[in-house]
Amino acid sequence: MKMNRLFEIMTILLNKGTVTAKELADRFGVSTRTIYRDIDVLSATGVPVYMSKGNGGGIYLLENYAINRTLISTQESESLLLAIKTMQATQYPELDRVLEKLGAIFKDTLSHDWVEVDFSPWGSRAEEKNKFNDIRQALIHRKVIRFQYVNAEGQKSSRSAEPEKLIFKDNAWYLVAFCRVRQEHRTFRISRLKKLEVLPETFETRRTSRQHFETKDFSQPLINLKLRFQPKALNRLYDYFDDTYITQNDDGSFTMDVALPEGEWIYGYILSFGSLVEVLEPEHVRIAIVEKIRLASNIYNP
């Protein structure tokens, strides 16, 4: 407890410059005599801490002093900030205090304002923003969760599950959990998980591994797609694909050659481009797209 208080005293001094013994005593719920003893301890360990009396006086550190600042470079401190900001987006507790302490240690190099991480989609409601926090609480405290889920085939169901791991893959978040309805480990896409409730019931962790996530959910057969896009679609292609897959044609259009897992989602992705895309290869995908367009047309022209 005392070591934590000593470190926090240094953090306060680094951030605020000068504070009084009474302010520190009130902050930690101890006497001013205890604070004076703490200052003596810091001084004895080589920390350049000083005290001045009178109006405007107080406890302060030697100007430009920082804790082992030279041990971490500017680039490393910025990388550390990015990692913490990413955790902050999941509403992990007490990170504001961590950022405050890092700001004290690297006060010349660390700014909190250059990055903001938010995993929720644009226009999300409050419950969507709280989803990560609820899942995190369930993971940490081993609480059963209940939710509604829509799978890749569009089937809606109610589930209860034992959450085990959050995974970020291919621009999306997934939850690995033991599904009590299916009685096996399943991987749920977070964006399709609705009406989440954290139940009071706890559970014992079951054995699982990352292999389940990789082999069961992301090992569909790959197909080699050749697609031609109009120039207006280029911004969306760059959202998901490296430009090494994309070749510009003489007429200004773009051809993309890429291998992707075959499934219903690929047809939906292609159709989302409307008239800005044409499937060149393979032929069976081209035929499937034509049939889906025909069925959609029948809705408006029965």
201 and 239 fall within a common domain? no
237 and 275 fall within a common domain? yes
Q: Which of 172, 196, 217 is the last residue of a domain?
A: 217
What is the per-residue pLDDT for 294?
A: 92
Query: Residue type for 152, please?
Result: A
DSSP codes, 187-250: EEEGGGEEEEEEEEEE-PPPP--HHHHHHHHS-PPEEEEEEEE-GGGHHHHHHHS-GGGEEE-T
In whole angstroms, give the CA distance from residue 277 to residue 231: 10
**Is 77 contained in some domain?**
yes
What is the per-residue pLDDT for 218?
A: 47
In whole angstroms, give the CA distance from residue 92 to residue 137: 9
Residue 132 has pLDDT above 80, yes or no: no
Tell me which of 12-21, 92-101, 109-118, 287-296 is least confident.
109-118
Average pLDDT for 153-159 = 84
Average pLDDT for 50-65 = 78
What tokens were used for 121?
A: 């989609």
Higher pLDDT, 146 or 15: 146
- The predicted-structure confidence for 185-222, as pLDDT tens digits, reads as follows 888 988 888 889 999 999 988 765 444 444 444 446 78
Percent of the chain exceeding pLDDT 90 equals: 24
What is the per-residue pLDDT for 110?
A: 45
Average pLDDT for 25-54 = 85
What is the per-residue pLDDT for 255?
A: 95
- The predicted-structure confidence for 11-23, as pLDDT tens digits, reads as follows 788 777 788 988 8
Q: Do 43 and 65 form a contact (C-beta atoms < 8 A)? A: no
Angle 214-220-223 (CA atoms, 0-180°, nearest 5)? 130
DSSP state of 111: -
Give the Å distances, CA to CA, from 8 to 60, 104, 136, 286: 13, 10, 27, 64
137 and 200 fall within a common domain? yes
Element (H, E) at 281: strand 277-281
**Is 275 contained in some domain?**
yes
264 and 200 fall within a common domain? no
52 and 73 fall within a common domain? no
What is the per-residue pLDDT for 216?
A: 45
Q: Tokens 């920082």: give the residue.
A: 66
Q: Which of 176, 197, 217 is the last residue of a domain?
A: 217
**Is 126 contained in some domain?**
no
**Is 143 contained in some domain?**
yes
In whole angstroms, give the CA distance from residue 77 to residue 97: 16
What tokens were used for 229?
A: 């896009």
* pLDDT confidence tier of residue 286, bands split at 50, 70 and 90: very high
Higher pLDDT, 166 or 229: 229
* CATH classification at residue 284: 3.30.70
50 and 93 fall within a common domain? no
Specify the number of domains making up the chain. 4
8 and 77 fall within a common domain? no
- The predicted-structure confidence for 82-100, as pLDDT tens digits, reads as follows 565 555 555 555 555 666 6
Tell me which residue of 38, 33, 31 sits closest to 5, measured CA to CA.
Answer: 38
What is the per-residue pLDDT for 214?
A: 45
282 and 231 fall within a common domain? yes
* CATH classification at residue 40: 1.10.10.10
What is the per-residue pLDDT for 179?
A: 92
**Is 111 contained in some domain?**
no
150 and 207 fall within a common domain? yes
**Is 124 contained in some domain?**
no
Residue 140 has pLDDT above 70, yes or no: yes
Residue 75 has pLDDT above 90, yes or no: no
Higher pLDDT, 155 or 292: 292
What is the per-residue pLDDT for 221?
A: 76
CB atoms within 10 A of CB 153: 7
**Is 278 contained in some domain?**
yes
* CATH classification at residue 139: 2.30.30
| 121 upstream amide cis, omega within 30 of 0 | no
**Is 88 contained in some domain?**
yes
Residue 228 has pLDDT above 80, yes or no: yes
Q: Which of 199, 217, 235 is the last residue of a domain?
A: 217
Tell me which of 168-172, 218-222, 262-266, 284-288 is least confident.
218-222
Tell me the residue range of the domain where 29 lies: 2-61
Helices (H), the chain: 2-16, 21-28, 32-44, 74-88, 95-105, 126-129, 131-141, 210-217, 234-240, 264-271, 283-300
Tell me which of 120-129, 140-149, 152-161, 165-174 is least confident.
120-129
7 and 52 fall within a common domain? yes
138 and 186 fall within a common domain? yes
140 and 206 fall within a common domain? yes
pTM over 0.95: no
What is the per-residue pLDDT for 236?
A: 86
What is the per-residue pLDDT for 274?
A: 92
